[in-house]
Amino acid sequence: MTKKYEQFDNFFTGFKKLNIKDKEFIQFRMNNILKTTEFSSNHCFGVLNSMSNIATQYGIDLYNSNILEIGSGKYSLLTGLYWKYMNVKKYIGIDKFCNPFLSKDWEEMYKSKINLLPRILGNKDLYEILDNDSWNKLNEFIEIYKDDFLNIKLKENTFDFVYSSAVFEHIEKPEDTISALYNVLKPGGLTYHNIDLRPHSAHKQNPIDILRYSTTDWKAKTLNSYNWQYLNRLRSSDWIELFETNGFEILDVKIRKFEEVSTDDIYNHIDDEFKGYSLDVLNNAIVNITARKI
């Protein structure tokens, strides 16, 4: 095991060894810092561990690499710190709806509270990163933006690895996004995306809830419903085609089916524009795409 993985593993090993009370205390404190109940160290670690494994599997040397996360969410800073802990050169997180936690408004809160975590874990390296005197150094290797990915002017051929998790189903300009993604990746750079094709509603087990609407009706529903989550309704075959037509080499596609498998009867319940998809494609609930810039 290399040094960077030893450091990353030891950080969470220390967390796991704490008693339940101390773990809950840390979770409580971190939730207060991030102003969200969504944060979960297990989830954050799980996603990052999966991403680092995928990058390594396809020959990306994370040491001194540039990482971009699209839709980095409310725990962008912690994600960046965890990547830094693996000795990446730069982490950039972009999220359209979540506040950037490196803003001045958050600086004092981080300075006063976030160092509680490494102190309890007894981890000197991370404490040094989070030490009050080192605050400005965070900007050297972590950048977080609250904006649409397409609005951020990133240099071409910059990133070694770009990823997202349950984000692309929400983007309003899929074609432009994939094209821009290709531009910012280095030649040979890797990209991975988990795309959730299911209805984002109480009933997520078959696609009828979102495919029964025409494009016009779907736009009206999106505009007129309070707090409605926009879904572009692209299916797995659409995403694969988008990556291929923009010059990517598809390295791997993993599919998860709906729990309620539809039969031919589904064609009696969906809008005409979706009737051209095969039954197999309509039954795809989640698609995970790994691709490389040629």
256-284 pLDDT, tens digit each: 999 888 899 999 999 999 999 999 999 99
Structure tokens at 107: 């600086």
Q: Supply the pLDDT for residue 32.
A: 54
Out of 117-126, 144-153, 177-186, 253-262, least confident range: 117-126
Name the residue type at position 84. K
CA nearest 138: which of 85, 65, 193? 85
Q: Supply the pLDDT for residue 15.
A: 56
Q: Tell me which of 148 and 230 has the higher pLDDT.
A: 148
Structure tokens at 263: 């039969």
Average pLDDT over residues 136-159: 86
Direct distance between the N- and C-terminal alpha carbons of the chain, in angstroms, rounded to an integer? 30
pLDDT in tens, 76-106: 777 887 787 778 999 999 998 876 544 454 4
Look at residue 131 and tell me whether its pLDDT is greater than 70: no
For the chain, helix, strand, coil in percent to 5 are 50, 20, 30
Look at residue 129 and tell me whether its pLDDT is greater than 90: no
Average pLDDT over residues 119-133: 46
User: What are residue 162's DSSP bridge partners?
Assistant: 68, 191
Share the mean pLDDT of the chain. Answer: 79
Q: Collapse the DSSP code of 200 into the 3-class scheme (helix H, G, I; strand E, B; otherwise coil) and give the result.
A: coil
Average pLDDT over residues 226-232: 72
d(CA 171, CA 270): 22
Give, as one character, the DSSP assignment of residue 193.
E
Residue 129, CA distances (Å) to 15, 18, 115, 117 in order: 18, 22, 9, 12
Q: Supply the pLDDT for residue 7.
A: 45
Strand stretches in the chain, DSSP E: 66-70, 90-95, 142-146, 159-165, 185-196, 248-257, 284-293
Q: Tell me which of 1 and 238 has the higher pLDDT.
A: 238
d(CA 167, CA 160): 20
Confidence class for position 117, pLDDT limits 50, 70, 90: very low
Q: Tell me which of 7 and 250 has the higher pLDDT.
A: 250
Q: Supply the pLDDT for residue 136.
A: 55
- 257 close to 286: Cβ distance less than 8 angstroms: no
Average pLDDT over residues 245-251: 98
Average pLDDT over residues 207-211: 89
Other Cβ atoms closer than 10 A to 22: 13
User: What are residue 253's DSSP bridge partners?
Assistant: 289
Most confidently predicted of 20-34, 42-56, 191-205, 247-261: 247-261
- 64 close to 87: Cβ distance less than 8 angstroms: yes
Look at residue 234 and tell me whether its pLDDT is greater than 70: yes
Task: Report the percentage of the chain scoring pLDDT > 90.
Answer: 48
Q: Tell me which of 141 and 100 has the higher pLDDT.
A: 141
Residue with tokens 């609407």: 213
